[in-house]
Amino acid sequence: MTDATEFAPGLMIRGITAPQKLSDYKLIAFDMDSTLITIECIDEIADATGKKEEVAAITEATMRGEITDFKDSLRQRVGKLGGVTEADMAIVLAERLKLSPGAETLVKAAKAAGLKVLLVSGGFTYFAEHVRALLDIDFVRANVLESKDGVLTGGLVEQAWGDICDGAEKRRTLLEVASLIGIDASQCIAVGDGSNDIPMMQVAGLSVAYHAKPRVRNEAKVAINEGGLDRLLEVLK
């Protein structure tokens, strides 16, 4: 992380004076996969078709920024999910989806300080709505997997805003929700781990990289490299 200082072991800051007040912000936006939760859902779904390794390699390259077209990358990966059943998805949700350490603590603290919470994901509503319920999240934007008779087709469902929530859509969503609740982007916190989170991190008042790829850490004002999401509360009192 360029020009960063170690605020505490495994916690880097850049361009800010800490501690700041959590209540100075009004919206916190989270990526989902490998940020609010510990898994990449698409990789785990692909396990049902025996294609986890193949899909996970594309996911990793995309999150590192080595594959720059997120939409094309996602369509490629979703295309490999044809034939996965809703029962397979339910197993991933029940047995593999876990909240990241500190996620519940950070979200509760943010809500107690008066912030609204946004989950904005390049993943899928099937999992995002479950996480919304677990954490009492206010706003969710994610992709919808197309299914027919309880089986995934390998396609995505067009929504009012488009069919794929990529980096540009994450940025637009953060700004849209900020406008909706009557705040400026400078009053927003954006938390993510992959290169598709960078656009929303660049417009937010505070950008947070969580166990992130190198490119993302280099963009962030706060980088949590060790420990849970609640380590942000060491920077924001």
> 197 Cβ partners below 8 Å, 6+ apart?
31, 35, 167, 170, 190, 191, 212, 216
87 vs 90: CA distance, rounded Å: 5
Please name which of 235, 205, 230 lies closest in space to residue 26, comparing C-alpha atoms.
205
Per-residue pLDDT tens over the stretch 139-160 = 999 999 999 999 999 999 999 9
Chain mean pLDDT for the chain? 96
Q: Which of 3, 33, 88, 184 is catalytic?
A: 33
pLDDT at 85: 96
Rounded average pLDDT over 155-175: 97
| Residue 232 pLDDT grade (very low, low, confident, very high; cuts 50, 70, 90) | very high
Catalytic residue among 31, 166, 193, 197: 31
Please write the tens of the pLDDT for every residue from 24-42: 999 999 999 999 999 999 9
In what order do the strands lie in the sheet containing 222-224? 5-8, 11-13, 222-224, 206-210, 188-192, 27-30, 116-124, 139-143
138 tagged catalytic: no
Residue 131 has pLDDT above 90, yes or no: yes
User: Does pLDDT of 1 surpass 70?
Assistant: no
Contacts for 201-210: CB closer than 8 Å, 24+ residues apart: 202/171, 203/171, 203/174, 203/175, 204/29, 204/174, 205/25, 206/16, 206/20, 206/25, 206/236, 208/232, 210/35, 210/100
Q: Which domains, ranges and CATH numbers included, belong to the chain? A: 5-38+100-235 (3.40.50.1000)
Kindly state the average pLDDT of the residues 61-70: 92
Task: Tell me, yes or no, if 184 is annotated catalytic.
Answer: no
Residues 73-91: tens digit of each pLDDT: 999 999 999 999 999 999 9
| Closest listed residue to residue 143, CA positions, set 169, 181, 107 | 169
CA angle 228, 95, 44 (to 5 degrees): 80
- What pLDDT does residue 3 have? 82
Query: What is the arithmetic mean of pLDDT over 204-219?
Result: 96
Q: CA–CA separation, 53 vs 58, rounded Å?
A: 9
- The 8-class DSSP code of residue 34 comes to T
pLDDT at 2 over 80: no
Please report how many Cα atoms fall inside a 13 Å half-sphere around the Cα of residue 2, on the Cβ side: 4
192 has which bridge partners? 209
Would you say residue 17 has pLDDT above 90? no
- The whole-angstrom separation of Cα 127 and Cα 206 is 26
